[in-house]
Amino acid sequence: MGGGELIEFQFEAEVIHWRGPSPYFFAPIPEQHGQEIKRVAKLATYGWGVIPVEATIDGFMFATSLFPKQGSYLLPLKDAVRRKCNLTAGDSISAIITIRLGRRSDL
């Protein structure tokens, strides 16, 4: 695997609302993709298990980081993303995420 290799995943998910100390909205990554992401995580993470990605929902591309959760990952949906795509908890989305391998040295 070269330092500039890209891995892309497309998935469907239902937006969830995390009511923890910092309320936030996420799209859970399906477990089968989570397992694939885990295999390349060490080549993409910049620490703490988070993985930087580019995501696209409804043609809107944004940068974020996946968070590990219960054997898979969560795709955070910032307020600007939710407003642009008119999303809230319970909505179904189709998303594409792109992971660039070898990013750790970029930071």
Backbone phi, psi, residue 70, to 5°: 45, 55
What's the mean pLDDT in 68-92? 93
Give the domain 6-106 fold: Elongation Factor Tu (Ef-tu); domain 3 (2.40.30)
pLDDT tens-digit profile of 7-28?
999 999 999 998 876 669 999 9
Sequence spans of domains, the chain: 6-106
pLDDT above 90 coverage of the chain, percent? 56
Asked if residue 105 has pLDDT above 60, the reply is no
Overall pTM > 0.95? no
| Residue-level pLDDT at 1 | 39
With beta carbons less than 8 A apart as the criterion, state whether 87 and 93 touch. Answer: yes
In this model, does residue 3 exceed pLDDT 60?
A: no
